[in-house]
Amino acid sequence: MAITTVARAGAMAALAALALTACSTGGTDAPGAAGGDCAPSDGPVELTFTSWLPGIDEAVAIWNDENPDVQVTVQTGPNGNGGTYQNFFNQLEAGNAPDLGQIEFDALPNFRVQDGLENIAACEGIVEAESQFVDWTWSQVTFGEEDAVYAIPQDTGPMALFYRADLFEAAGIEIPETWEDYRAAAAQIREEGGYINNFSQSDINAFAGLVWQTGGEWFTNDGDAWEVSLTGDESLQVAEYWQGMIEDDLVAKYPPWTDEWNAAYNSSEIWTWLSAVWGANTILSGAPDTAGNWAVAPMPQWEAGESAAGNWGGSTTAVLKGSDHPYEAAQFALWLNTDADALTAMNRTAQIYPATVEGADLPVFSEGVEFYGGQKIYEVFAAAGAEVDPDFTWGPTMTQVYNDVADGFSGALSGSGTLMDALESGQASTISALEAASIPVKE
């Protein structure tokens, strides 16, 4: 008798597991209730906000002082792809996501497809705020839909070349202006015993920034279907360039964002980093012994005299689905990303560059930065920001794209396959992932 009970319980458990997994995620967007209503809540409101910006609590403290009735609690997490997005997806699934979350531009479509974002277009002052933001950032948060705003742009990530001014000068190497120069400099630096750069296996969004600079696109959407072009000409051009650097041992291969990687910069083994404006914070916190020796120059170009730039990262503040107080949350998100004091506070602690038009004129962005030898580094990034192609579109499954391409890049770094192979298999797996999610794809 006891045995049959156990057997039956086992069978039930197996059935339950089958039923749970038998639901395949179908359909893409349930037509969003356009706008809907967005009314203030009665009485005091408490909001939760998850972000990974260093020192974000200082900016939030300003809001909390000014708004005793709407108190925001900050929860910090790892950077988006490092775990926060996964937490958001799990929390959304469980129905207890924070009211507000930091989401990068490249991850927004993924959250939109998963129906994780609250449409805040109907909230007071949100639609009117459009003119305050840099054009391309606004189109990223509306997805071109009518009556829709899914997040407030926070910062952008125009890319430039961080380099060790002292080492370049001591070795008598010119600051590279073209990718050809950059490769030549790489060979010289290798002779000095260093590496010009670290090829990051997992920062696929940085690689996308290089493709972006070259004029390539990974995703296009004509309104009916997605076209995936990880293997476009520009994409392959960038891949071939770096594949050559890897094969000739001109770049280091440390996994990024690790102690080993920081140590390589701190010990002057690696001389440059192609990164976004917020990377200024990464270097000063990861390589403190090199203070004062860094400088920033525009990205190397494919043709001498050009001034194309890529973009890496940049975030938004989104109101996540299920928030009880979308009105207050939207007001906070708008304040955080437009108020001069908040923007200045976030720049001081996290070196981010605001997505608002006027933000660029804040006094903090015309100051020299001590860590960078007193250079007015934001001028370089402002110039780069103006050159970023506004039409680059992110696909709806970027987490999957990053995982798959990173796995391929990892193979390329250890000598099996090439970066081009990685993009090709990424192309195939992305198309099948889109199809698996019933998202229309053009072959």
Q: Which residues lie near other proteins (CB under 8 A)?
A: 14, 17-18, 20-27, 30, 85-86, 89-90, 93, 114, 201-202, 253-255, 257-260, 263-264, 267, 397, 399-400, 403, 406-407, 409-411, 413-416, 433, 436-437
| Per-residue tokens: 135 | 């054009």
Task: Quote the least distance from Cβ 413 to other proteins, whole Å.
Answer: 5
CA distance 226 to 395: 8
Q: What angle do CA 52, 58, 63 make, to 5 degrees?
A: 105
| Per-residue tokens: 113 | 């497809």
Task: Quote the least distance from Cβ 23 to other proteins, whole Å.
Answer: 5
| Per-residue tokens: 163 | 């380099």
Indicate the length of the chain as a whole number: 443
Q: Which is nearer to other proteins, 41 or 438 (CB)?
A: 438
CA distance 98 to 88: 8
Q: Which is nearer to other proteins, 338 or 397 (CB)?
A: 397
CA distance 271 to 221: 39
Task: Quote the least distance from Cβ 88 to other proteins, whole Å.
Answer: 9
Q: Which is nearer to other proteins, 89 or 302 (CB)?
A: 89
Q: Which is nearer to other proteins, 3 or 20 (CB)?
A: 20
CA distance 79 to 423: 24
Task: Quote the least distance from Cβ 268 to other proteins, whole Å.
Answer: 12
Task: Quote the least distance from Cβ 197 to other proteins, whole Å.
Answer: 15
Q: Which is nearer to other proteins, 47 or 230 (CB)?
A: 230
State the pairing for strand pair 226-228/441-442.
parallel
Task: Quote the least distance from Cβ 392 to other proteins, whole Å.
Answer: 22
Q: Which is nearer to other proteins, 78 or 144 (CB)?
A: 78
- Cβ atoms of 347 and 365 within 8 Å: the answer is yes
Strands, sheet with 272-276, edge to edge from the N-terminal-most edge strand:
272-276, 159-164, 294-297
Q: What angle do CA 134, 139, 143 make, to 5 degrees?
A: 160
